[in-house]
């Protein structure tokens, strides 16, 4: 019987991230539940299928600062890829009902070593996170709070519906927005009212952002 040497099949990332198997399983959390807290073992990474997750830190005085928001199609919990096992230094809270794939640390390390396609995608994610962190730092250092809020709303709109002239954002509270720009809720409320009067946003129970808000970010 002749022997055929079939080429190995290419790793299907989407199929992998959409199924359970060795070292990975689906989890479902209700709004306000935690994926992990500070001090938990960083023993897994998550891929969000549905919902929105807030990554934040809590000070010793109990003040919470939001670092970033995770949308469907993003990874989070990347500290699991540290060279040695370590603990979480942030917390991940479900802002909406969430579904995610949890990938255990040993399986994540195997993927990075054996599956170049996955390693490339995850490395791009890490690079994007690093670049966003640098941009956020520059924003905090050099831009006033109103401008930081305009930038954040534009980023959220771009993540939700790239290219749209007006975008309805996923539900997000003024407290969360204030935490992400390093300001207070009353100031955020004042800025939001100003943006609404100028026609840059529509704001009732949810926020609809118009591209014209870019004028706030670009002006001197």
Domain shared by 110 and 198, yes or no: no
Q: Is residue 9 part of a domain?
A: no
In tens, the pLDDT along 16-49 reads 999 999 999 999 999 999 999 999 999 999 999 9
Q: Give the C-alpha separation, 77 to 95, whole Å.
A: 16
Domain shared by 202 and 96, yes or no: no
Q: What is the CATH number of the domain that holds 46?
A: 2.60.120.10
Q: Which pLDDT does position 217 carry in this prediction?
A: 60
Domain shared by 106 and 205, yes or no: no
Domain boundary among 124, 139, 154: 139
Report the pLDDT averaged over residues 93-104: 96
Mean pLDDT of the chain: 87
Domain shared by 100 and 193, yes or no: no
Q: Is residue 147 part of a domain?
A: yes
Count of domains for the chain:
2
Domain shared by 117 and 162, yes or no: no
Q: Give the C-alpha separation, 64 to 57, whole Å.
A: 6
CB of 61 closer than 8 Å to CB of 73:
no
Domain shared by 104 and 176, yes or no: no
Q: Is residue 2 part of a domain?
A: no
Domain shared by 181 and 115, yes or no: no
Domain shared by 106 and 181, yes or no: no
pLDDT > 90? residue 154:
no
Q: Which pLDDT does position 7 carry in this prediction?
A: 44
Domain shared by 126 and 55, yes or no: yes
Q: Is residue 195 part of a domain?
A: yes
Report the pLDDT averaged over residues 74-93: 93
138 versus 12: the higher-pLDDT residue is: 12
Q: Is residue 6 part of a domain?
A: no
Domain shared by 116 and 162, yes or no: no
Domain boundary among 109, 139, 169: 139
Neighbour tally for 148: CB within 10 Å: 21
Instruction: State if pTM tops 0.95.
Output: no
Q: Is residue 3 part of a domain?
A: no
Domain boundary among 116, 139, 162: 139
- Per the structure, the complete domain to which residue 65 belongs is given by 14-139
In tens, the pLDDT along 160-182 reads 666 667 888 888 889 889 988 88
CB of 6 closer than 8 Å to CB of 54:
no
pLDDT category, 151, cuts 50, 70, 90? confident
Report the pLDDT averaged over residues 143-152: 87
**Residue 217: both structure tokens together:** 């970010």
């Amino acid at each position: 019987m002749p022997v055929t040497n079939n080429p190995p099949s290419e790793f299907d990332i989407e199929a992998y991230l959409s199924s359970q198997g060795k070292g990975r399983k689906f989890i479902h959390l209700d709004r306000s539940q935690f994926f992990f807290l500070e001090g938990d073992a960083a023993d897994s990474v998550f891929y969000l299928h549905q919902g929105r997750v807030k990554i934040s830190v809590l000070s010793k005085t109990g003040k919470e600062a939001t670092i970033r928001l995770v949308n469907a199609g993003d990874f989070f919990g990347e500290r699991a890829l540290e060279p040695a096992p370590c603990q979480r230094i942030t917390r991940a809270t479900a802002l909406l009902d969430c579904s995610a794939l949890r990938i255990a640390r040993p399986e994540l390390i195997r993927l990075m070593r054996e599956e170049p396609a996955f390693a490339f995608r995850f490395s791009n994610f890490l690079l994007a996170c690093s670049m966003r962190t640098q941009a956020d730092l520059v924003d905090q250092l050099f831009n006033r709070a109103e401008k930081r809020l305009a930038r954040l709303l534009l980023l959220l709109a771009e993540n939700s519906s790239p290219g749209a002239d007006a975008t309805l954002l996923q539900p997000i509270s003024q407290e969360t927005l204030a935490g992400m720009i390093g300001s207070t809720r009353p100031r955020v409320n004042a800025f939001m009212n100003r943006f609404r009067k100028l026609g840059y946003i529509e704001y009732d129970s949810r926020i609809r952002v118009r591209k014209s808000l870019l004028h706030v970010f670009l002006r001197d």
